[in-house]
């Protein structure tokens, strides 16, 4: 190990230290630990992204299992890299692959507490087998192998259940943070929340888009399982019928109810009253309104949820035939249509966006759709593209009406509906929903 140090006087010195004879060095622990944590995170995300593709989910499980085992040996027990039991790493990769392959089938056939215990139990059995085989390769006797199975079983169950529990905790924390943010953001007079939102979006939006595209590519590959997709769709529908609970509709109603709602006669509405109106309304019916200054925003029941629709007489709304679960694709198609509207009738173009285009060195005639989308997305320009829950139209609206951080209204949009349906009902059902919405002849989800 060599340390090069430049002192204040400009003298370069070299110190040479001998490596410890046994065990992993602190540097090795740090490097291996950080690498394994990153690989494990990638593997866990991959297992979720590739849920409809058992083969790819198995590959994700393999790298997760191998990374966890190396982490345990080097970081937890302190073994030197030269002493890592690679046979055990390979076994961990194999059991991880089996768990990754079986996981989608368990997900498709069980749910709730049943899924939690079924999946964790499979991981526990695989963990027990892994440790038993390792003990056998090391020449252990029968009693030691039984103890190894018990240890592996307990560790496998604990890790599997722990990861699931952590995931649910993150969901709850995220939901709680969203509720708090929606309540306090409109009352803040500073720009702190806006700046934090901008910083977070710079990080999370590209990652989310990349994962969505990766999932789309996987779902279009030979690894896609129609059985898994159909089984998940059937299980979700069965749950709705048996339990009488539609968490998608409940979530959308709860979000919209955070706003100050009135009925079509102008009377204040509670969440309970909104829910009753929703249950009795027809698809496409306006069941409530939000009034802010001169703007009246309709709350509409459509495609099994409620969403907000802005006045098309004041805010340009374009039809892109069908939304997909990729926001970039939706918005790019919408921008092309919006540009056509502006070229035909320039007076409909907001002054702020016209100025931004001119300052960018372009004209409306020469600007590319990608650059125009970038200008519209620039927060300081004051506009945003809203994907409607009719699954086919997009509206250009002001951020002060749309974004909760700007004092806008809490709601579920079209892309959120698309992602939810695809994640919970499967790609096959999602495509049927999109076809129904695009045709305009059938209600997509009811």
- Domain chopping of the chain, boundaries: 26-182, 195-259+315-439
Tokens for 265, please give them.
Answer: 């006669």
Q: Please name the residue that has the structure tokens 């690498």.
A: 35
- Residue 246: per-residue pLDDT: 67
pLDDT in tens, 79-91: 888 888 898 899 9
The separation between CA 137 and the C-alpha centre of its own chain, rounded to angstroms, equals 42
Higher pLDDT, 245 or 377: 377
- Residue 22: per-residue pLDDT: 61
Angle CA 247–430–228, to nearest 5: 85
CA distance 79 to 71: 10
Contacts of 256-259 with C-beta under 8 Å, sequence gap 24+, read 256/288, 256/299, 256/306, 256/307, 256/308, 256/409, 256/410, 256/411, 256/412, 258/179, 258/182, 258/183, 258/410, 259/290, 259/409, 259/410, 259/411
Band of the pLDDT at 240, cuts 50, 70, 90?
A: low
pTM, full prediction: 0.60
CA distance 57 to 49: 8
CA distance 315 to 441: 25
User: Whole-number mean pLDDT of the chain?
Assistant: 82
CB atoms within 10 A of CB 212: 21
| pLDDT exceeds 60 at position 245 | no
115-124, 128-137, 204-213, range with the lowest pLDDT: 204-213
Q: What is the mean pLDDT of residues 264-279?
A: 91
Using DSSP's 3-state secondary structure scheme, residue 297 falls into strand
Q: Please name the residue that has the structure tokens 């499979």.
A: 122
Higher pLDDT, 15 or 260: 260
pLDDT in tens, 148-187: 999 999 988 998 898 888 877 877 776 666 556 555 555 5
Question: Using the 8-state DSSP alphabet, how is residue 74 labeled?
Answer: I
């Amino acid at each position: 190990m060599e340390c090069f140090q430049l002192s204040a006087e400009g003298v370069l010195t070299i110190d040479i230290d001998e490596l410890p004879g046994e065990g992993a060095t602190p540097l090795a622990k740090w490097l291996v630990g950080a690498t394994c944590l990153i690989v494990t995170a990638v593997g866990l995300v991959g297992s979720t992204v590739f849920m409809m593709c058992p083969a790819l989910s198995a590959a994700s499980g393999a790298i997760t299992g191998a990374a966890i085992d190396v982490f345990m040996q080097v970081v937890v027990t302190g073994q030197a890299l030269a002493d890592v039991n690679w046979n055990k790493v390979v076994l961990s990769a194999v059991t991880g692959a089996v768990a990754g392959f079986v996981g989608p089938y368990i997900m498709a056939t069980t749910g709730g507490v049943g899924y939690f215990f079924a999946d964790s139990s499979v991981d526990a059995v695989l963990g027990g087998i892994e440790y038993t085989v390792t003990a056998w390769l090391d020449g252990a006797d029968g009693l030691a192998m039984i103890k190894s199975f018990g240890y592996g079983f307990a560790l496998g169950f604990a890790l599997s259940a722990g990861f699931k529990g952590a995931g649910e905790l993150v969901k709850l924390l995220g939901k709680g943070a969203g509720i708090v943010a929606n309540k306090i953001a409109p009352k803040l007079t500073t720009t702190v929340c806006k700046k934090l939102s901008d910083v977070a979006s710079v990080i999370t939006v590209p990652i989310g888009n990349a994962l969505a595209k990766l999932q789309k590519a996987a779902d279009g590959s030979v690894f896609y399982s129609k059985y898994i997709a159909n089984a998940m769709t059937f299980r979700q529908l069965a749950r709705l019928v048996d339990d009488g609970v539609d968490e998608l509709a409940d979530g959308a109603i709860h979000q919209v109810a955070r706003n100050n709602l009135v009925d079509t006669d102008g009377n204040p509405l509670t969440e309970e009253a909104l829910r009753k109106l929703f249950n009795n309304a027809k698809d496409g019916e306006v069941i409530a309104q939000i009034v802010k200054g001169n703007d009246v925003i309709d709350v509409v029941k459509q495609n099994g949820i409620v969403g907000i629709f802005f006045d098309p007489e004041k805010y340009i709304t374009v039809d892109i035939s069908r939304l997909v679960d990729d926001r970039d694709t939706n918005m790019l198609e919408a921008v092309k249509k919006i540009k056509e509207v502006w070229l035909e009738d320039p007076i409909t173009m907001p002054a702020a966006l016209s100025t931004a285009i001119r300052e960018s060195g372009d004209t409306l005639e020469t600007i590319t759709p990608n650059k125009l989308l970038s200008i519209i997305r620039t927060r300081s320009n004051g506009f945003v593209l809203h994907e409607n829950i009719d699954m086919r139209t997009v509206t250009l609206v002001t951020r002060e009406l749309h974004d909760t951080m700007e004092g806008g209204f809490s709601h579920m949009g079209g892309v959120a509906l698309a992602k939810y349906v695809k994640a919970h009902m499967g790609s096959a059902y999602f495509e049927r929903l999109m076809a129904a919405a695009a045709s305009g002849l059938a209600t997509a989800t009811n």
